[in-house]
């Protein structure tokens, strides 16, 4: 009875944070990519991505906590000037690393390793650093504007051109793989309450591709092939669904999903942009704060201390700050 109780408590604790399911699902997809393709994900690339994301996440967490500690000390003691070093000595290492979001960094690393392809392994290190760095620096009202993995890949593609790419057919067209990815992702998103945006994106994207095929008289095999890639499934279920960079309201999320899907379809069938879904998501990231303002709703936050998710109102009132918590 005791073993069963402990096991049940462990499962409940695991289920409280949707990021646990994301890490588990992405790890399985990483393994499938590694085993089923000569050009799939590689452990060395994952190692470099983890080093890049975790190191920048650690540095960013320390800097955020130093700034917050210094601000509180200064306002309470009437001090002025730069007191970051003094605040660091007072807080200690445990205080400066409080709120360290290692789970988010691991999720970003796995996404980068599965989706990104490049001529050199060091691109995964750079992508990880850019992804987490953007999360700390490009923010709007407490939310990061871009999905970290998306902006990391898009930045490298824009800067380094053909040396970096996303191969949409890198997993093959195995129905078993597609079914596995969709089933696990549905379980993940049921915990994070973001299944609506994934289905909204895929539904709009599929409608455009099938509608175009019908209009032009093309065989249905063409849109089916375009929709049957591992990269598209990863994007739909693990990237556009990021609760920290997408609209808070369901209405906003559905509008956002339709806009991203429409632009991605145009990028694909018009100018033939590489990595069309990722480019569309990065291009339309500015819609998130606009839709949050038009359709205010509860904001999704990760509770790093207890491993739980919780929500706060996105009204005009400011949240009461907790000591030494970096929420990037």
More confident residue, 208 or 78: 208
Look at phi and psi of residue 47 and say left if phi exceeds 0, alpha if psi is from -120 to 50, else beta. alpha
What pLDDT shows up at residue 7? 61
| Structure confidence at residue 195 as a pLDDT band (50, 70, 90) | confident
- CATH (residue range 16-313): 1.10.3430
* Annotated domain spans of the chain: 16-313
The most confident of 95-99, 204-208, 231-235, 246-250, by mean pLDDT: 204-208
More confident residue, 266 or 78: 266
Is the pLDDT reported for residue 53 higher than 90?
Answer: yes
* Dist CA 60 CA 56 (whole Å): 6
Task: Find, among 303, 322, 314, 313, the residue nearest to 104 by Cα.
Answer: 303
Q: How far is CA 277 from the centre of its chain?
A: 14
What pLDDT shows up at residue 322? 41
What pLDDT shows up at residue 320? 40
The most confident of 16-25, 92-101, 138-147, 200-209, by mean pLDDT: 200-209
Is the pLDDT reported for residue 279 higher than 60?
Answer: yes
What pLDDT shows up at residue 175? 45
**What is the number of alpha carbons within 13 Å of residue 263 lying toward its C-beta?**
16
Look at phi and psi of residue 110 and say left if phi exceeds 0, alpha if psi is from -120 to 50, else beta. alpha
**Number of CB atoms found within 10 A of residue 302's CB:** 21
Query: Which runs of E-coded beta strand occur in 283-325?
Result: 298-303, 308-313
* Dist CA 131 CA 292 (whole Å): 23
- Residue corresponding to tokens 């009132």: 317
| Structure confidence at residue 70 as a pLDDT band (50, 70, 90) | confident
| Structure confidence at residue 290 as a pLDDT band (50, 70, 90) | very high
* Dist CA 185 CA 278 (whole Å): 18
Rounded average pLDDT over 49-76: 84
* Dist CA 254 CA 220 (whole Å): 26
Cβ-proximal residues to 138 (8 Å cutoff; 6+ apart), any chain? 144, 145, 146, 151
How high does pLDDT run on average in the chain? 79
Rounded average pLDDT over 289-303: 81
> What is the model's pTM?
0.81
Helix (H) or strand (E) holding 111: helix 102-115
* Dist CA 126 CA 136 (whole Å): 16
**Number of CB atoms found within 10 A of residue 31's CB:** 12
More confident residue, 212 or 78: 212
What pLDDT shows up at residue 68? 75
What pLDDT shows up at residue 226? 85
Q: SS3 for 113? A: helix
Q: Which of 284-288, 292-296, 306-310 has the lowest mean pLDDT?
A: 306-310
Helix (H) or strand (E) holding 166: strand 164-166
Q: Which of 6-10, 112-116, 234-238, 315-319 has the lowest mean pLDDT?
A: 315-319
What pLDDT shows up at residue 153? 96
| Structure confidence at residue 80 as a pLDDT band (50, 70, 90) | low
What pLDDT shows up at residue 178? 59
Let me know: does 284 contact 201? Beta carbons within 8 Å: no
Percent residues over pLDDT 90 in the chain: 38
One-character DSSP codes across 42-105: -HHHHHHHHHHHHHHHHHHHHHHHHHHHHHHHHHHHT--S--HHHHHHHHHHHHHTTT--HHHH
Is the pLDDT reported for residue 225 higher than 60?
Answer: yes
Is the pLDDT reported for residue 295 higher than 80?
Answer: yes
142-158 residue pLDDT tens: 788 899 999 999 999 99
Record the tokens describing residue 149, joined without a space.
């993995």
- The partner residues of 166 in beta bridges, in order of sequence, read 116
Q: Which of 27-31, 228-232, 277-281, 316-320 has the lowest mean pLDDT?
A: 316-320
| Structure confidence at residue 211 as a pLDDT band (50, 70, 90) | very high
């Amino acid at each position: 009875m005791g073993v069963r109780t402990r096991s049940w408590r462990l499962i409940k604790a695991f289920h409280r944070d949707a990021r646990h399911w994301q890490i588990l699902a992405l790890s399985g997809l990483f393994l499938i990519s590694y085993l089923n393709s000569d050009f799939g994900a590689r452990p060395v690339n994952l190692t470099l991505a983890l080093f890049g994301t975790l190191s920048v996440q650690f540095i960013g967490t320390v800097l955020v906590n130093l700034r917050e500690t210094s601000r509180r000390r200064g306002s309470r003691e009437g001090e002025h000037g730069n007191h970051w070093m003094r605040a660091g000595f007072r807080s200690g290492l445990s205080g400066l690393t409080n709120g360290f979001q290692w789970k988010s960094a691991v999720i970003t690393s796995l996404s980068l390793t599965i989706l990104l392809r490049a001529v050199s392994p060091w691109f995964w290190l750079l992508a990880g650093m850019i992804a987490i760095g953007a999360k700390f620096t490009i923010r709007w009202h407490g939310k990061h504007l871009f999905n970290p993995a998306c902006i990391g890949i898009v930045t490298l593609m824009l800067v380094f051109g053909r040396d970096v790419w996303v191969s949409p057919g890198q997993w093959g067209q195995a129905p078993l793989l597609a079914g596995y990815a969709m089933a696990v992702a549905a379980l993940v998103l049921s915990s994070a309450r973001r299944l609506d945006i994934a289905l909204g994106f895929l539904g709009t994207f599929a409608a455009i591709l099938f509608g175009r095929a019908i209009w032009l008289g093309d065989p249905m095999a063409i849109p089916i092939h375009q929709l049957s890639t591992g990269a598209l499934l990863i994007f739909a279920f693990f990237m556009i669904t990021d609760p920290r960079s997408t609209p808070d309201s369901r209405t906003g999320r559905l509008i956002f999903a339709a806009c991203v899907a429409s632009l991605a379809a145009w990028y694909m069938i018009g100018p033939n942009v590489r990595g069309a879904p990722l480019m569309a998501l990065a291009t339309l990231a500015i819609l998130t704060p606009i839709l949050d303002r038009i359709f205010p709703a509860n904001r999704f936050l990760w509770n790093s201390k207890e491993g739980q998710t919780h929500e706060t109102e996105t009204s005009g009132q400011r949240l009461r700050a907790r000591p030494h918590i970096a929420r990037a």
